[in-house]
Amino acid sequence: MAKSDLIGGSIWEEYSKKVAELMDNPKHRGEITEEEANAQNLKLIVADFGAESCGDAVRLYWAVDPKTDIIKNAKFKSFGCGTAIASSDTMAELCIGKTVDEAVKITNLDVEFAMRDTPDIPAVPPQKMHCSVMAYDVIKAAAAQYKGVDANSFEDEIIVCECARVSLGTIKEVIRLNDLKSVEDITRYTKAGAFCKSCIKPGGHEAREYYLVDILKEVRAEMEYEKLAKSAQPSAVDFVNMSAIQKFKEIDKILDADIRPMLVMDGGDMEVIDIKEDGENIDVYIRYLGACSGCASGATGTLFAIESILQEKLYSNIRVLPI
């Protein structure tokens, strides 16, 4: 691993085993020559991308079947740190076997995720996330060359940080996935705002349409709203106005949480058979199963408990009727 990859002297534990292995033993480093491509009736594509912000650069080689647009082979040369090598190697691996159109959809998050040892632990320290962004950009450069179009035509995301080429979608997703709470966190994970800093907040040397402070505020508000919505019980008015299917789901959800576990412990169970409106009342017809079907308390204590919980959590005029 390059010395420049060390942060605070020792961060081996912050890199996945896959990354550490690919730094020293990349599988796809090298080049594809015109002669090799021609011998297999494939079209050779050679694309370059350099990140001015950190000085790293990568060259991507594709050997593409012009009849199917499938990338039969991919190799790379990387001029940069060990993480850039690992990211570029993973990027080449992800390209092989895909059509050019499919390859363009590979994102820097896909590259980073593919380098993880386990799905929930990042492959690299946040400061090195930008290396996978470079791999993402060189794919677009190769696809543009193959199709004879401008690379910007593949850009279906709004770029917030031009220095690190980080998109609005990537920033929002990283905030959500990692529960980020500050602009500094965003910068550590994506490199957005680490260089010219124009994208952090208004007042920088270059005006931007989107700023990290506003994106963070918006996403955090959305996350909080979703959290509250998920935990909140429907009001009585909401429940009354639900469709029959929605009522059934809400009732079943409460039964699963508060009633069924007790019944199952005694060898029984229950199911909702029908829901009918009778004036202001909503009648819930149930059937006891297993040991509950012959239990005397099914018409007394158990029935009262079921009805009370549904009335408390959903609507005061619910009546539970066993059949």
Indicate whether 98 and 197 sit together in one domain: no
Closest CA to 319 of 266, 270, 275: 275
Of 54, 95, 163, 199, the active-site residue reads: 54
User: Which domain CATH number covers 306?
Assistant: 3.30.300.130
Do 253 and 191 fall into the same domain? no
Same domain (yes/no): 266, 226? no
Give the model confidence (pLDDT) of 191-218 as tens digits.
899 877 899 999 987 888 999 999 999 9
Among 156, 188, 214, give the residue marking a domain's end. 156
My answer on whether 213 and 78 are in the same domain is: no
Report CA dihedral (68, 69, 71, 72) to the nearest 10 degrees: 30
d(CA 128, CA 112): 10
Beta bridge partners of 57: 50, 79
Q: Considering 206, 232, 258, which residue would you say is the last residue of a domain?
A: 232
Q: What is the DSSP letter of 293?
A: G
- CB distance 47 to 73 below 8 Å: no
pLDDT for 52 equals 56
Q: Are residues 122 and 265 in the same domain?
A: no
Closest CA to 122 of 189, 175, 59, 60: 189
pLDDT band, residue 230 (cuts 50/70/90): low
pLDDT classification of 231: cutoffs 50, 70, 90: low
* pLDDT for the residue 142: 96
Nearby residues of 137 by Cβ (< 8 Å), 6 or more positions away: 49, 151, 165
Residues 182 and 272 in one domain: no
Q: What is the pLDDT of residue 229?
A: 65
Binning the chain into helix, strand and coil, the percentages to the nearest 5 are 50, 20, 35
Same domain, 171 and 281: no
Q: What is the CATH number of the domain that holds 122?
A: 3.90.1010.10
Q: How many domains does the chain have?
A: 3
Q: Which position has the token pair 């690919």?
A: 22
In whole numbers, what is the pLDDT of the chain averaged over residues? 87
Euclidean distance between CA atoms 199 and 205, whole angstroms? 10
- Is residue 295 flagged as an active site residue? no
Amino acid at 242: M
Q: Is residue 317 classed as helix, strand or coil in its secondary structure?
A: coil
**Residues 35 and 137 both lie in one domain:** yes
CA distance 51 to 138: 10
Q: Are residues 77 and 150 located together in one domain of the fold?
A: yes
pLDDT grade, residue 54 (50/70/90)?
low
Which is catalytic among the residues 131, 161, 163, 199?
131
**Between 142 and 227, whose confidence is greater?**
142
pLDDT, one tens digit per residue, over 113-162 is 999 999 888 888 876 777 777 888 899 999 999 999 988 777 667 889 87
Domain that holds residue 258: 236-322
Q: How far does the chain reach from its first CA to its final CA, in angstroms?
A: 71
What is the average per-residue pLDDT within 19-43?
96
Residues 133 and 100 in one domain: yes
CATH number assigned to the domain comprising residue 191? 1.10.10.1100
Query: Which amino acid type is present at position 110?
Result: D
pLDDT tens for residues 251-272? 999 999 889 988 898 889 999 9
Catalytic residue list contains 54 = yes
- The residues pairing with 318 across neighbouring beta strands, listed in sequence order, are 282
How far is residue 177's CA from residue 207's CA, in Å, rounded to a whole number? 28
Q: Are residues 318 and 184 in the same domain?
A: no
Helix (H) or strand (E) holding 119: none
Q: Do 226 and 250 belong to one domain?
A: no
What is the torsion angle, in degrees rounded to the nearest 10, for the CA atoms of residue 147, residue 150, residue 154 and residue 155? Answer: 170
Of 135, 156, 177, the one marking the end of a domain is 156
